[in-house]
Amino acid sequence: MSHGNPLFNEKAYEQTLSRARVGEAMTLQGTINKTFALLFLCVVAGMFAWKNYQAIAGYTTFISIATFIVAMIVIFRKTSAPILAPVYAVGEGLVLGIISAAYNVTYQGIVAQAISITLLVFVLMLFLYKTGIIKVTRGFVIGIVAATGAIALFYLGSWIVGFFGVHVPYFTSTSNLSIGVNVVICIVAALNFALDFHFIDQLTTQVTAPKYMEWYAGFSLMVTLVWLYLEILRLLARTRDR
């Protein structure tokens, strides 16, 4: 089976099959419903954080770390997704609300632009996948997983060296190189949607997956959406600073 979102690795697939006949089965409609439920929680939490930005901005680091820990638990213990995926959605919504409000103070209207572009990219990727224009082959999977892993290592390395006072120019630079890298990261994030769609297709049409995978699939889609949104937000801010 060829699939590639790092949240949907081979071990995850084998564990899913081992529980495939336990309880209710995962369905496409159920996955869509769970995804919208998570996005709703994320948006509501984001709106709350936006309106109370000054009061909770100081807790951004704490909320971010707590949300990251929850995400790691969901990734390594997928049966926890029905409970912890909503918790992740709320935490991520708070973080996004704070970040978005901060960007909006400096760049009026940038948040609405970033949200619109993110949604357009999502719809475009769904269209390209459903029409077969983008085919999720094994080579495609390997390429996107490798690129995503490299980006993740770059983020992690930058975060670690930041504790030692080492400045990574990419996050503040408006150079052509930084913008180019930013665009490439946006493209990789967008292509991860194809991996999400492909895996969901396989679990809902080719095998009988357990019901909790609906929450896990929705969680994975939201992770990709959040990543793409933040990168688009950063890219728009760079272009305005030019």
In a domain, 23, yes or no: yes
In a domain, 3, yes or no: no
Q: What pLDDT shows up at residue 120?
A: 97
Q: What pLDDT shows up at residue 2?
A: 37
In a domain, 66, yes or no: yes
Nearest 10 degrees: CA dihedral of 71, 135, 148, 67? -10
In a domain, 180, yes or no: yes
Q: What pLDDT shows up at residue 237?
A: 94
In a domain, 108, yes or no: yes
**Low-confidence residues of the chain, pLDDT below 50?**
1-4, 10, 13, 20
| Residue 99 to residues 56, 164, 191, Cα–Cα distance (Å) | 11, 23, 24
Q: What pLDDT shows up at residue 225?
A: 96
Task: Provide the domain limits for residue 39.
Answer: 10-241
Q: Is 211 left (phi over 0), alpha (psi -120 to 50) or beta?
A: alpha
In a domain, 2, yes or no: no
**Cα-flanking dihedrals φ and ψ of residue 208, to 5°?**
-105, 100
